[in-house]
């Protein structure tokens, strides 16, 4: 039986980055379907936003020189020329000293005005006379042309994952078709004589397929396209033909189960059977998830993931997801939550550990409480808010120690 030659998580990630170069094509999609997609190229504005000067308050457009020194005890008296209607050009302008125009929030600032006095600081003496009780400076309560976005400005950078907020910005600029990266196709193969489909009733010694659906939904959430090749028994020829089919149809392949060194674990043997193949990593110094394979077959990444659901989920989160993000130049960053650890916890040195936790709010402070679950079980993982990473050179954590919690996405 071969022994694992384990590498660190960082080393495994570096090996992936050094050995693979994918060129995902660009595709244009409708703005309404762009949520969650990754921008293919910088989005550059062709217009100013706003394209006209507009008021940020309800009030009176004035020339600030006409209200210099104005106060409640000595208000400035201005002549009201009219009002600006929403969505229309300003039909009046300030041509002479002492004139003003009423402007609603968002209304166009008339020519000759350089500021707006909030209506709360004014008083209507009669239909033609307004008392201004407060001085203002040039530009007060006015959004200038291009204040939000200017022509030729990069408004959304390549690699940005589109949220509803970026969608709103794109709509304000008139974009209807958006350039995004094609979703990478990810093949999923579950292996094991003990695994049966979710519609089957397991016999004693058998379990329903968890990892296919765990991986499938994770891949969807990460804006890739999963392809399910079903459950494959621990038979060399059957697994090889399935992997061969997946390699022809997908950008990468995930094989769940069969990555260890047991007698019936076929993944390494199948990978080696392809002419253009190389096992880059067999074993990562991590708990859970040590028996992980990273290989290059016909220029494509093939991952051998642990069969246990918790281990499979952790390796997907820290290795596969990171790789999918790099394929699409995804520049989004994760920002962990700082918490206090709830107990004293000991771990073995020499490998990183990823520990699922739940968060509790105690006296307005977040407490991270670990979930202890055997690696073959999934319920503990499903209850977790996220996980903490414990460095390989650390022997454990103390109660009350500050930790960073990364959310399971």
Tell me the CB-side half-sphere exposure of residue 182, using CA atoms within 13 A. 11
CATH number at residue 112: 2.170.190.11
Q: How far apart are CA 348 and CA 315, in angstroms?
A: 19
Summarize the confidence of residues 257-263 as an average pLDDT. 61
pLDDT band at residue 372, thresholds of 50, 70 and 90?
confident
pLDDT band at residue 81, thresholds of 50, 70 and 90?
very high
Residues 219 and 360 in one domain: no
Tokens of 276: 């253009």
The whole-number pLDDT of residue 84 equals 96
The whole-number pLDDT of residue 259 equals 59
Residues 172 and 205 in one domain: no
Q: pLDDT at residue 74 above 90?
A: yes
Tokens of 405: 């919690």
Q: pLDDT at residue 265 above 90?
A: no
- Percent helix, strand, coil in the chain (nearest 5)? 20, 35, 45
Residues 272 and 201 in one domain: yes
Q: pLDDT at residue 61 above 50?
A: yes
Residues 226 and 371 in one domain: no
Residues 276 and 244 in one domain: yes
The whole-number pLDDT of residue 263 equals 42
Long-range Cβ contact pairs of 297-301 (< 8 A, separation 24 or more)? 297/243, 297/247, 297/253, 297/271, 298/247, 298/274, 299/20, 300/20, 300/247, 300/250, 300/251, 300/252, 300/253, 301/16, 301/20, 301/252, 301/253
Residues 168 and 249 in one domain: no
Residues 307 and 239 in one domain: yes
Q: Is residue 332 part of a domain?
A: no
Residues 44 and 92 in one domain: no
Using one digit for the tens of pLDDT, what is the confidence trace for 329-363? 998 888 999 999 999 999 888 889 999 999 999 99
Query: At 330, which helix (H) or strand (E)?
Result: none
Dihedral angle of Cα 24, 325, 162, 388, to the nearest 10 degrees:
170
Residue 356: domain span: 337-407
Residues 299 and 167 in one domain: no
Q: Is residue 3 part of a domain?
A: no
Q: Is residue 391 part of a domain?
A: yes
Q: How far apart are CA 4 and CA 13, in angstroms?
A: 17
Phi, psi angles (nearest 5°) of residue 5: -105, 85
Residues 388 and 276 in one domain: no
Using one digit for the tens of pLDDT, what is the confidence trace for 176-224? 999 999 999 999 999 988 899 888 898 998 889 999 999 999 999 999 9
Q: How far apart are CA 248 and CA 229, in angstroms?
A: 13
Q: How far apart are CA 142 and CA 252, in angstroms?
A: 53
Query: What's the number of domains the chain is made of?
Result: 4
Q: Is residue 131 part of a domain?
A: yes
CATH number at residue 210: 3.40.980.10
CATH number at residue 162: 3.90.105.10
Tokens of 167: 């969608």
Q: Is residue 395 part of a domain?
A: yes
Residues 209 and 282 in one domain: yes
Q: How far apart are CA 292 and CA 312, in angstroms?
A: 9
Q: Is residue 4 part of a domain?
A: no
Q: How far apart are CA 248 and CA 372, in angstroms?
A: 40
Tokens of 242: 């399935």
pLDDT band at residue 280, thresholds of 50, 70 and 90?
very high
Summarize the confidence of residues 269-284 as an average pLDDT. 93
Of 265, 299, 327, the residue at which a domain comes to its end is 327
Q: Is residue 2 part of a domain?
A: no
Q: pLDDT at residue 143 above 60?
A: yes
Residues 117 and 161 in one domain: no
pLDDT band at residue 266, thresholds of 50, 70 and 90?
confident
Of 181, 197, 228, the residue at which a domain comes to its end is 181
Q: How far apart are CA 271 and CA 337, in angstroms?
A: 40
Residue where the block lists tokens 């500021």 = 115
Of 283, 300, 327, the residue at which a domain comes to its end is 327
Q: Report the length, in residues, of the chain.
A: 409
Cβ pair 123, 104 in contact under 8 A: no
Tokens of 355: 């520990």
Q: How far apart are CA 248 and CA 18, in angstroms?
A: 23
Q: Is residue 235 part of a domain?
A: yes
């Amino acid at each position: 039986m071969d022994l694992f030659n384990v590498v660190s998580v960082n080393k495994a990630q570096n090996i992936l980055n050094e050995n693979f170069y994918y060129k995902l094509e660009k595709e244009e999609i409708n703005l309404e379907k762009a949520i969650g997609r990754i921008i293919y190229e910088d989005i550059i504005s062709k217009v100013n936003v706003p394209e006209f000067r507009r008021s940020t308050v309800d009030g009176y457009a004035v020339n600030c020189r006409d209200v210099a020194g104005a106060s409640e005890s000595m208000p400035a008296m201005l002549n009201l020329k009219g009002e600006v209607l929403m969505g229309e050009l300003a039909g009046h302008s300030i041509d002479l000293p002492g004139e003003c125009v009423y402007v609603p929030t968002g209304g166009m600032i008339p020519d000759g005005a350089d500021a707006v006095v909030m209506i709360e600081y004014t008083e209507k003496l009669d239909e033609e006379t307004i008392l201004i009780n407060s001085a203002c400076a040039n530009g007060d309560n006015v959004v200038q042309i291009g204040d939000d976005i200017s022509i030729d400005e990069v408004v959304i950078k390549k690699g940005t994952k589109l949220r509803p907020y970026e969608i709103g910005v794109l709509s304000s600029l008139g974009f209807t078709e958006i350039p995004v990266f094609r979703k990478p196709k990810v093949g999923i193969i579950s292996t094991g004589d003990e695994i049966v489909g979710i519609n089957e009733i397991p016999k004693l010694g058998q379990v329903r397929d968890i990892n296919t659906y765990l991986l499938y939904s994770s891949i969807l959430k990460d804006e890739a396209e999963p392809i399910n090749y079903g459950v494959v028994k621990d038979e060399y020829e059957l697994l090889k033909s399935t992997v061969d089919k997946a390699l022809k149809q997908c950008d990468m392949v995930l094989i769940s189960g069969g990555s260890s060194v047991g007698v019936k674990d076929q993944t390494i043997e199948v990978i080696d059977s392809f002419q253009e193949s190389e096992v880059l990593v067999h074993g990562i110094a991590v708990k859970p998830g040590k028996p992980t394979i990273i290989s290059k077959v016909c220029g494509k990444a093939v991952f051998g993931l642990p069969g246990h659901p918790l281990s499979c989920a952790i390796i997907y989160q820290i290795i596969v997801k990171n790789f999918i993000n790099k394929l699409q130049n995804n520049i989004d960053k994760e920002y962990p939550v700082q918490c206090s650890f709830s107990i004293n916890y000991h771990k073995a040195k020499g490998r990183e550990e990823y520990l699922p936790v739940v968060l509790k709010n105690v006296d307005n402070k977040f407490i991270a409480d670990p979930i202890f679950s055997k690696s073959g079980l999934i319920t503990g993982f499903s209850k977790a808010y996220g996980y903490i990473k414990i460095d390989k050179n650390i022997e454990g954590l103390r109660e009350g120690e500050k930790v960073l919690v990364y959310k399971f996405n």
